[in-house]
Chain A
Amino acid sequence: MDTMRDRLAPVVTRLLDEDPRVAAVLAEIGADGFTEARRRHPDRVVNVGIREQLLVGAAAGMALTGLRPVVHTFASFLVERPFEQVKLDLGHQGVGAVLVSASASFDWPAGGYTHMAPGDVALLDTLDGWTVHVPGHPDEAETLLRHAVAAGDDKVYVRLSTQSNAHGLPVDGERFRTVREGRRGTVVAVGPVLDAVLDATEGLDATVLYATTVRPFDAAGLRRATEAAGTDVVLVEPYLAGTSTAAANDALAEVPHRVLGLGVGRAELRRYGTADEHVAAHGLDARSLRARIGGFLGAGGALPPRA
């Protein structure tokens, strides 16, 4: 299967062909994929070199002239390194852009912590007005990229990962999707953790919601799910644990509720290896999730043997 990021250049190339407002802004990372697009649209495909502050600042300047910039590099260099540019050059100026990251929380564990950004969504949460898409499959990534570019002048973050579910689901760029219904709790699975969550909750009488757009948080969708499933909520996120806990608490502010936030641990793991090993180390594999979700929902029991 191709990766979500494999879809980026082809999708954006088509959008560059279709819409004269669209521009791609790069800082070397991923520039090879845009060679043909750059030939066709030399002024709308810009590679600023290894200059991430300029990457975001220049995108903001382009947006001020009316363009719709799509800005891409690894999450560490897109959100964390030029964070003040994201805050001021986009937010404070009142212009938008589509930031598309790659590498996610630990897509390249052998590359170490310098290329990990589990805090990216939490960091954007300190700012106002960002839409955040976290696709769980390349097909979903393609759809959400199109939604992001089409979203007027909104500020949109699309978080691409090499981690993926086996199958894509229809996504609408707004709401959580109910993939399983139960009565003893609600589990919200964000993007690429869905398969592990479905394995982990097999045989549990729990509702599973699938979230590929986490900001704005689908508070109404969560409330609706809890009407039948009760107000015990587990969030399973592929980035920093607890990133959406406040959003879930706000959604359920009017009713007694409990929220457990699972995700990537805050402590630096300081290990290389594979993504699967990091998934396990952060307790995000199906067996660990089963224990933690089952324990929290009081619906324990060992994970049934896999067929």
Chain B
Amino acid sequence: MTITGEDTRTYGYTDLPALMGLMTGDEKHGPAATSTLDVLWVLYDRVLRVGPERMDDPGRDRFLLSKGHGPMAYYAVLAAKGFLPVAWLPGFGSYDSPLGHHPDRVLVPGAEIGSGSLGHGLPIAVGTALGLRAQGLHEPRVWTLVGDAELDEGSNHEAIAFAGPAGLEALHTVVVDNASASYARPGGIAARFEAAGWSARTVDGRDHDALYDAFTAPHPGRPHVVVARVEPKNA
């Protein structure tokens, strides 16, 4: 692991609450921030072939955080994995900090896109998969994380409907489902993707092994979605 700056510690999952506490001032966090924590950790710890030293490598996996709201878990994981200095975390949201309440790819090392406005990550991920394929880069996988309510955006429906028939095998979406959409999707979230030709798994979004199995399930010739269920936002 490459460590940025003078911090030579190695961080694990149990350190994440403390890292998030550096941003929020305590260790209690809003649902928007913590709903993604386990998904992000399993991806960065066990699935994504990325690292601070690989950010210019065309062959790296891409992770596009579409749900840019409540990015503390994202920043905590990036800090734990050495993409950005832990020392940046306490400045969260301040004028001189690169870490905003929505992430900016130009400012945050390791962030593949800037996000905040909902419904942009998945279409951009589609284009990233297309661009890699057009350049003969068949190894790198493209991941994007969206929220269940974010799926309401029409731009996501355009992307879902295209990616299945286009056979974008490199494309992966993880939907963190904290039941925050005002209107439940008839048939469930996975059904929406399956109807468009995606491979789909629905798992407990707090169960690291279940997440890992779902993330790494084979899906030849099709894009893959993992619906990660977490406790409801208003529970």
Contact = CB atoms under 8 A, between A and B. Distances in A.
A62 B123 contact: no
Interface in B134-159: 134-135, 137, 154-155, 158-159
A51 interface: yes
A94 B124 CA distance: 13
Interface string A90-110: 001110000000000000000
Interface residues of A, number: 31
Nearest to A58: B127
Contact of A89 (B112, B120, B137): B120
B98 to A, nearest CB: 14
Given A64-B112, A65-B58, A66-B58, A54 B130 contact: no
Nearest to B136: A43
Interface string B69-80: 000000000000
A64 B115 CA distance: 14
A17 B136 CA distance: 16
B8 to A, nearest CB: 32
A93 B105 contact: yes
A44 B130 CA distance: 8
A67 B135 contact: yes
Contact of A85 (B123, B125, B131): B123
Contact of A61 (B58, B105, B126, B137): B126
B38 to A, nearest CB: 26
A66 B56 CA distance: 11
A64 B104 CA distance: 14
B90 to A, nearest CB: 26
B161 A61 contact: no
B216 interface: no
B58 A93 contact: no
B110 interface: no
B223 interface: no
Contacts of B119: 53
Contacts of B158: 48, 51, 53-54
Interface in B55-111: 58, 104-106
Contacts of A20: 135
A62 B105 contact: no
A62 B127 contact: yes
B128 interface: yes
Nearest to A48: B162
**Most A C-beta atoms less than 10 A away, residue of B120, B126, B132, B159:** B120
Contacts of A67: 131, 134-135
B126 to A, nearest CB: 5
B154 A60 contact: no
A75 interface: no
A29 interface: no
A85 B128 contact: no
A132 interface: no
A57 B58 contact: no
A93 B128 CA distance: 13
Contacts of B114: 88, 92-93
Nearest to B133: A43
A84 interface: yes
**Most B C-beta atoms less than 10 A away, residue of A65, A67, A89:** A65
Nearest to A54: B158
A86 B131 CA distance: 18
A67 B131 CA distance: 7
A98 to B, nearest CB: 15
A284 to B, nearest CB: 36
A260 B130 CA distance: 47
27 contacts: A23-B134, A25-B127, A43-B130, A49-B161, A54-B155, A57-B127, A58-B127, A58-B162, A59-B127, A61-B123, A61-B124, A61-B128, A62-B127, A62-B130, A64-B112, A64-B124, A65-B58, A65-B132, A65-B135, A66-B58, A67-B131, A67-B135, A69-B127, A85-B155, A89-B123, A89-B124, A93-B105
Given A49-B162, A54-B123, A65-B134, 5 more contacts: A20-B135, A43-B133, A57-B124, A57-B159, A60-B124
